[in-house]
Amino acid sequence: MERDIELAELALQNQATWKVLEFAQNSREASTRLHGIAVGLLPFASAAVGTSALLIYSSLGAAFLTLVGINSFVNINGLRLLQYRLAVEEGQARIRLRGGVAVHGPEIDAPTPPSLPRQMDPMGSVTRGARWIVAVDLGASGPLLVSGLLVRYGNGRPGLTAALVISAVALSAISVASWLIWSRRHSQRTETSLATELRRLFADEA
């Protein structure tokens, strides 16, 4: 009877692990589709407004997509660690079914979740993809805004043109670098928090 319960728990944990991955993939795809819709609307918008206004509005759209992307990344990263915790619980169920024998690496080193840069499974790829979508949005928003300003005000004014171009490059570089640093630290904080929680859980079970 107890073994049947363990097998049922194992099956539920395995199913939940795949469901979490599916949800993360759907979340990233929703963000990607939103980008596709925004790009698809550009030809229609260009017919309604001038080039300068289109570029400025596009920069605002990129800023909005950045906020959507950040929220998506944070949620997907949380799902990444939830999937790992489910995998740990699944591994513990397998150990109990084997009579206390740990076989696979994650079962032995379970309290240490993988860092995002080194996680090469599908969940790691989905999370990194969401992270780089935000980087692209941040890198595009500044140049789009500056391009719109150049079209409107830059004709025959080389000094203003040079200043705006330098500002665009600096803004993009600073924005992308800041995001990559923040997102890396966010991932590390959540990984450390989960590791602490798992160690506490293992200590209580011991």
Residue ranges of alpha helices (H) inside 49-104 are: 51-97
C-alpha closest to that of 116 among 180, 202, 198, 201:
180
164's tokens: 């705006």
> Which long-range contacts link 118-122 to residues 24+ away (Cβ below 8 Å)?
119/80, 122/21, 122/25
Weakest mean pLDDT among 19-28, 42-51, 111-120, 141-150: 42-51
**According to the per-residue pLDDT averaged within each range, which of 9-23, 35-49, 58-72, 90-104 is highest?**
58-72
Question: What is the domain count for the chain?
Answer: 1
Is the CB of residue 83 less than 8 Å from the CB of residue 121?
no
Question: What is the C-alpha separation between 123 and 78, in angstroms, rounded?
Answer: 11
Spatial CA neighbour of 20 closest among 68, 69, 70, 90: 90
Contact 170, 188 (CB under 8 A): no
Range name among 59-73, 76-90, 98-112, 156-170 with the lowest pLDDT average: 98-112
- In this prediction, residue 105 has a pLDDT band, given cuts at 50, 70 and 90, of low
Length of the chain: 206
pLDDT band at residue 188 under the 50/70/90 scheme? very high
| 110 has a pLDDT exceeding 80 | no
> pTM of the prediction?
0.80
What Cα–Cα distance (Å) separates residue 188 from each residue in 80, 81, 183?
13, 11, 9
The secondary structure of 126-175 as a DSSP string is: HHHHHHHHHHHHHHHHHHHHHHHHHHHH-TT-HHHHHHHHHHHHHHHHHH
CA 65 to chain CA centroid, nearest Å: 13
Query: What is the domain extent for residue 98?
Result: 2-205
Q: What is the 3-state secondary structure (H, E, C) of 21-49?
A: HHHHHHHHHHHHHHHHHHHHHHHHHHHHC
CB atoms within 10 A of CB 192: 11
- The answer to whether residue 101 scores a pLDDT higher than 70 is no
> What does the pLDDT look like over 137-183, one tens digit per residue?
888 887 877 777 777 776 666 776 777 778 778 888 898 999 999 99
Per-residue confidence at 16, pLDDT binned at 50, 70, 90? Answer: confident
